[in-house]
Protein backbone atom coordinates (compact mmCIF):
# COMPACT_ATOMS: atom_id res chain seq x y z
CA UNK A 1 0.00 0.00 0.00
CA UNK A 2 1.09 3.55 -0.63
CA UNK A 3 1.10 6.62 1.51
CA UNK A 4 -1.33 8.53 -0.70
CA UNK A 5 -4.05 6.13 0.43
CA UNK A 6 -6.38 7.37 3.13
CA UNK A 7 -6.95 5.58 6.42
CA UNK A 8 -9.57 5.68 9.16
CA UNK A 9 -9.20 4.10 12.58
CA UNK A 10 -12.25 3.29 14.71
CA UNK A 11 -11.50 2.95 18.42
CA UNK A 12 -8.69 4.83 20.15
CA UNK A 13 -7.62 2.48 22.89
CA UNK A 14 -3.95 1.48 23.16
CA UNK A 15 -4.03 -0.50 19.92
CA UNK A 16 -5.94 2.08 17.90
CA UNK A 17 -3.72 4.92 19.11
CA UNK A 18 -0.62 2.95 18.13
CA UNK A 19 -1.98 2.43 14.61
CA UNK A 20 -2.84 6.12 14.24
CA UNK A 21 0.52 7.31 15.55
CA UNK A 22 2.53 5.05 13.27
CA UNK A 23 0.47 6.01 10.23
CA UNK A 24 0.88 9.70 11.01
CA UNK A 25 4.62 9.27 11.59
CA UNK A 26 4.82 7.78 8.09
CA UNK A 27 3.03 10.73 6.53
CA UNK A 28 -0.31 9.02 5.94
CA UNK A 29 -3.69 10.76 5.97
CA UNK A 30 -5.68 9.42 8.94
CA UNK A 31 -9.13 10.00 10.39
CA UNK A 32 -9.33 8.82 14.02
CA UNK A 33 -12.75 8.07 15.53
CA UNK A 34 -13.88 7.17 19.04
CA UNK A 35 -17.30 7.25 20.67
CA UNK A 36 -15.91 8.80 23.87
CA UNK A 37 -15.76 12.59 23.87
CA UNK A 38 -13.27 12.42 26.74
CA UNK A 39 -10.90 10.29 24.67
CA UNK A 40 -11.26 12.59 21.67
CA UNK A 41 -10.60 15.70 23.77
CA UNK A 42 -7.52 14.08 25.28
CA UNK A 43 -6.02 13.22 21.88
CA UNK A 44 -7.16 16.28 19.93
CA UNK A 45 -3.76 17.98 20.08
CA UNK A 46 -1.92 14.86 18.94
CA UNK A 47 -4.18 13.81 16.06
CA UNK A 48 -5.05 16.37 13.36
CA UNK A 49 -8.29 14.72 12.21
CA UNK A 50 -10.25 13.21 15.06
CA UNK A 51 -14.00 12.81 15.58
CA UNK A 52 -16.34 11.67 18.32
CA UNK A 53 -18.89 9.41 16.64
CA UNK A 54 -20.90 6.21 16.99
CA UNK A 55 -19.57 4.01 14.21
CA UNK A 56 -22.42 1.51 14.62
CA UNK A 57 -24.89 4.06 13.20
CA UNK A 58 -25.21 3.94 9.40
CA UNK A 59 -26.02 7.64 8.99
CA UNK A 60 -23.15 8.69 11.25
CA UNK A 61 -20.63 6.54 9.40
CA UNK A 62 -21.91 7.80 6.07
CA UNK A 63 -21.58 11.41 7.24
CA UNK A 64 -17.96 10.71 8.15
CA UNK A 65 -17.41 10.14 4.43
CA UNK A 66 -16.05 6.68 5.13
CA UNK A 67 -16.76 5.53 1.57
CA UNK A 68 -13.90 7.82 0.47
CA UNK A 69 -11.34 5.97 2.59
CA UNK A 70 -9.18 3.18 1.19
CA UNK A 71 -8.54 1.39 4.49
CA UNK A 72 -10.48 1.27 7.75
CA UNK A 73 -8.96 -0.29 10.87
CA UNK A 74 -11.60 -1.28 13.44
CA UNK A 75 -9.87 -1.46 16.82
CA UNK A 76 -12.75 -2.23 19.16
CA UNK A 77 -12.15 -5.87 20.10
CA UNK A 78 -13.64 -5.34 23.57
CA UNK A 79 -17.02 -4.63 21.93
CA UNK A 80 -17.73 -7.45 19.50
CA UNK A 81 -21.19 -6.21 18.55
CA UNK A 82 -19.80 -2.79 17.66
CA UNK A 83 -17.01 -4.41 15.64
CA UNK A 84 -19.57 -6.45 13.70
CA UNK A 85 -21.76 -3.43 12.95
CA UNK A 86 -18.82 -1.23 11.95
CA UNK A 87 -17.48 -3.95 9.65
CA UNK A 88 -20.84 -4.42 7.94
CA UNK A 89 -21.34 -0.66 7.50
CA UNK A 90 -17.86 -0.09 6.08
CA UNK A 91 -18.27 -2.87 3.53
CA UNK A 92 -21.78 -1.69 2.64
CA UNK A 93 -20.41 1.80 2.02
CA UNK A 94 -17.74 0.40 -0.29
CA UNK A 95 -14.55 0.54 1.76
CA UNK A 96 -11.99 -1.54 -0.12
CA UNK A 97 -10.01 -2.84 2.86
CA UNK A 98 -11.40 -3.38 6.35
CA UNK A 99 -9.02 -4.65 9.03
CA UNK A 100 -10.53 -5.69 12.37
CA UNK A 101 -8.90 -6.28 15.73
CA UNK A 102 -10.40 -9.37 17.40
CA UNK A 103 -10.52 -10.69 20.94
CA UNK A 104 -10.19 -14.35 19.92
CA UNK A 105 -10.12 -16.78 16.99
CA UNK A 106 -13.89 -17.33 17.05
CA UNK A 107 -14.52 -13.62 16.59
CA UNK A 108 -11.95 -13.56 13.78
CA UNK A 109 -13.78 -16.33 11.94
CA UNK A 110 -17.12 -14.55 12.22
CA UNK A 111 -15.76 -11.16 11.14
CA UNK A 112 -14.05 -12.69 8.13
CA UNK A 113 -17.35 -14.22 7.05
CA UNK A 114 -18.96 -10.80 7.44
CA UNK A 115 -16.52 -9.24 5.01
CA UNK A 116 -13.42 -8.22 6.96
CA UNK A 117 -10.43 -8.36 4.64
CA UNK A 118 -8.00 -8.99 7.47
CA UNK A 119 -8.30 -9.79 11.16
CA UNK A 120 -5.69 -9.45 13.88
CA UNK A 121 -5.45 -10.62 17.46
CA UNK A 122 -3.63 -8.14 19.72
CA UNK A 123 -1.58 -10.83 21.46
CA UNK A 124 0.06 -11.69 18.15
CA UNK A 125 -0.04 -8.37 16.30
CA UNK A 126 0.90 -4.97 17.66
CA UNK A 127 -0.87 -1.88 16.40
CA UNK A 128 2.45 -0.33 15.48
CA UNK A 129 3.45 -3.34 13.39
CA UNK A 130 0.10 -3.37 11.59
CA UNK A 131 0.50 0.30 10.65
CA UNK A 132 4.06 -0.28 9.46
CA UNK A 133 2.83 -3.05 7.21
CA UNK A 134 0.04 -0.86 5.82
CA UNK A 135 2.51 1.74 4.56
CA UNK A 136 5.31 -0.58 3.44
CA UNK A 137 4.37 -1.19 -0.22
CA UNK A 138 3.97 -4.94 0.13
CA UNK A 139 6.49 -5.60 2.88
CA UNK A 140 5.47 -7.62 5.90
CA UNK A 141 7.52 -6.78 8.99
CA UNK A 142 7.96 -10.17 10.69
CA UNK A 143 10.17 -9.35 13.65
CA UNK A 144 12.53 -6.73 15.00
CA UNK A 145 16.12 -7.84 15.57
CA UNK A 146 17.30 -4.49 16.91
CA UNK A 147 16.24 -0.87 16.84
CA UNK A 148 17.28 -0.54 13.20
CA UNK A 149 17.22 -4.09 11.81
CA UNK A 150 14.16 -6.23 11.07
CA UNK A 151 13.20 -9.44 9.32
CA UNK A 152 10.85 -8.70 6.40
CA UNK A 153 8.83 -10.75 3.98
CA UNK A 154 8.39 -9.15 0.58
CA UNK A 155 6.98 -10.35 -2.72
CA UNK A 156 9.23 -10.69 -5.73
CA UNK A 157 8.65 -7.59 -7.85
CA UNK A 158 7.38 -8.03 -11.40
CA UNK A 159 10.62 -6.71 -12.83
CA UNK A 160 12.61 -9.26 -10.80
CA UNK A 161 10.82 -12.34 -12.15
CA UNK A 162 13.09 -14.54 -14.26
CA UNK A 163 16.27 -12.97 -12.94
CA UNK A 164 18.80 -14.43 -10.54
CA UNK A 165 19.83 -13.01 -7.17
CA UNK A 166 23.28 -12.43 -8.64
CA UNK A 167 21.83 -10.36 -11.49
CA UNK A 168 19.66 -8.29 -9.17
CA UNK A 169 22.52 -7.45 -6.79
CA UNK A 170 20.05 -6.84 -3.97
CA UNK A 171 22.74 -6.82 -1.32
CA UNK A 172 24.80 -4.24 -3.22
CA UNK A 173 21.87 -1.99 -4.21
CA UNK A 174 19.67 -2.22 -1.13
CA UNK A 175 21.75 -4.05 1.50
CA UNK A 176 19.12 -6.80 1.53
CA UNK A 177 20.24 -10.14 2.92
CA UNK A 178 17.97 -12.83 1.49
CA UNK A 179 17.70 -15.73 3.96
CA UNK A 180 14.80 -17.73 2.50
CA UNK A 181 12.55 -18.04 -0.55
CA UNK A 182 8.91 -18.78 0.17
CA UNK A 183 6.33 -20.24 -2.23
CA UNK A 184 2.89 -21.78 -1.79
CA UNK A 185 4.61 -25.17 -1.72
CA UNK A 186 7.57 -24.66 0.60
CA UNK A 187 10.10 -22.32 2.14
CA UNK A 188 13.63 -22.86 0.87
CA UNK A 189 16.79 -21.88 2.72
CA UNK A 190 19.20 -23.81 0.49
CA UNK A 191 19.70 -21.62 -2.57
CA UNK A 192 22.54 -19.82 -4.27
CA UNK A 193 23.17 -16.55 -6.08
CA UNK A 194 22.20 -18.15 -9.40
CA UNK A 195 18.72 -19.10 -8.18
CA UNK A 196 16.08 -17.70 -10.54
CA UNK A 197 13.16 -15.89 -8.97
CA UNK A 198 9.69 -17.04 -10.02
CA UNK A 199 6.42 -15.13 -10.06
CA UNK A 200 4.54 -15.50 -6.77
CA UNK A 201 7.68 -16.13 -4.74
CA UNK A 202 8.23 -14.17 -1.53
CA UNK A 203 11.64 -13.44 -0.07
CA UNK A 204 12.46 -13.46 3.63
CA UNK A 205 15.15 -10.86 4.15
CA UNK A 206 17.09 -9.15 6.91
CA UNK A 207 17.48 -5.45 6.33
CA UNK A 208 17.66 -1.98 7.81
CA UNK A 209 14.14 -0.63 8.45
CA UNK A 210 14.96 2.46 6.39
CA UNK A 211 15.15 0.20 3.33
CA UNK A 212 11.37 0.52 2.96
CA UNK A 213 11.50 4.06 1.65
CA UNK A 214 14.17 3.11 -0.88
CA UNK A 215 12.23 0.13 -2.18
CA UNK A 216 8.92 1.92 -2.95
Q: In Å, how far from its chain's centre is CA 196?
A: 29
pLDDT one-digit tens code per residue, 156-176: 888 999 999 999 988 888 888
d(CA 115, CA 103): 17
pTM value is: 0.63
pLDDT digits (tens, 9 = 90+) for 23-56: 898 788 899 999 999 999 999 999 999 999 999 9
- Neighbour count for residue 149 (Cβ, 10 Å): 14
The whole-angstrom separation of Cα 199 and Cα 158 is: 7
- pLDDT at residue number 204: 83
Residue 124: what pLDDT?
Answer: 44
Q: Which tens digit of pLDDT belongs to each residue from 90-141?
A: 999 999 999 999 988 889 989 998 889 988 886 545 666 666 666 555 555 5
Domains of the chain: 6-134 (3.40.50.720), 140-215 (3.30.70.1450)
Amino acid sequence: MKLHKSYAVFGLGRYGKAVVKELLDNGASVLAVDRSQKVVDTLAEEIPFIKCADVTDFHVVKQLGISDFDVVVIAMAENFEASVMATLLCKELGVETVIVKCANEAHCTILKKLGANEVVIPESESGRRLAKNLVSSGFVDIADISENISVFELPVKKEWVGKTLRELELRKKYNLNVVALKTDVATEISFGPDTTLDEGTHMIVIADKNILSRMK
